[in-house]
Structures are given as structure tokens and as C-alpha cells.
Copies of this chain bind each other. A is one copy, B any other.
């Protein structure tokens, strides 16, 4: 899962970036509205954290531009002001949630998790596909109830696939969503990690669709449509 943070205060921004990366997200950080808008328009994000009090361009303006462009990623708005009218304005401008500063980092993470879960159409924080379970809260993965140790990248890859269960995900899409910008797209790392995940969870977990990408299917919601 890849996140964009648009925050003009360098300390807070960098701190958020670090925390989120430790949580298992790929994070890009932008420090002003113009650059932030550009990033959000050109790159693929699963969620955006947007500070309203930006220099140059106002956060709400940026948000409005994205929505006009048809961008649908969920946006979590940060506001220093504690007036509910601002919140209402933010929500109506297309924000999906907001958080007033100062806030607990845990709460930010929980809200982010909920946003991504919701935007990918999942009802709970525990993703299940056959014998494999992935708890987005604890970041744990189990196979037949047995805990499985995954590395950071393996987890990111699996998590993205499980969030998009049943969908055919191209290699490019995977690269765009588990790495932050500046990554060699002509590389076979995705294949390598798919191999490693299969070794740990079984070969049948991830299906290859030749020429298109990969797909993670749940035997439970198979046929019988």
C-alpha cells in the first residue's frame, strides 16, 4: 500500500513518513500544495494524507482539483483548526475523513487502515483467503492458524493482493503500489517475491495469469455466482 503525505511542516511530515514506513506502507512525502497535487495526479496512491494549512495552494483547493481530475483515492485531511465548519467544508470537498491536530499517531494509523480497507471493499481488518489470514492491525500472517514470518516486502506484496482479492493485478500495478517513486520498473523483483511467498504459504495461494499478472483467489467465494 502506497501513501502520499502532503504536509508543509518538515518535522511532522518526516516523522509521519518514518512511522508509516515502519508500519509497512510505501510513503512519498510532499511539502507544498503544488508539488503534492502533481504527485497525486501522476502517481498511484492507495490513500493520501493532506494538511489543509499549506503555503501557496490551499489544501482544499488541491483536493478539489484531484476530484475534478477523477482521482478517487481516499483522502484523510489534517487540520489544525478545530472548527467544525472547516471539517464540513473538507468532507464536502471530497475528503473521506479528517483528523484535528494534535493527534495520536495510533489514531492516524487506525483511520488510515480503515480508509484503505473501506476503499478496497473489505469489511473487516482481517483479510482471509483460504488457509491464509492477514491481520492488517497486527501485521501478522497465519497459514492454517500457524504464524508465518514474512519480510517487509513480502508482506506488502501479499497485503496488496489480499486487499484486491479476486482481481488480476499486473506487475506494474504491484510495483507502483508497494514501492515509492524512483524504482526500476524493468526488474524481476516482483517475480522473486512471489516465489518467496509461495515457498512460505504454498504454491496455490497466488495464481499466475500469464501475460496479465497475478491474482489471489479465495476458494470460499469461488464459483456458484
Contact = CB atoms under 8 A, between A and B. Distances in A.
Contacts of A139: 167-168, 209, 212-213, 215
Contact of A123 (B72, B107, B166): B72
A182 interface: no
Given A106-B84, A155-B212, A212-B152, A113 B140 contact: no
Interface string A135-151: 00111101001110101
A91 B138 CA distance: 14
Chain copies in the assembled complex? 2
A186 B107 CA distance: 47
A97 interface: yes
Given A145-B223, A147-B222, A153-B211, 12 more contacts: A84-B104, A87-B107, A88-B107, A91-B114, A92-B114, A94-B124, A138-B166, A139-B167, A146-B223, A147-B223, A151-B211, A152-B211
Interface of A: 67, 70-72, 74, 84-85, 87-88, 91-97, 103-104, 106-107, 110-111, 113-114, 118-119, 121-125, 137-140, 142, 145-147, 149, 151-153, 155, 166-168, 209-213, 215, 222-225
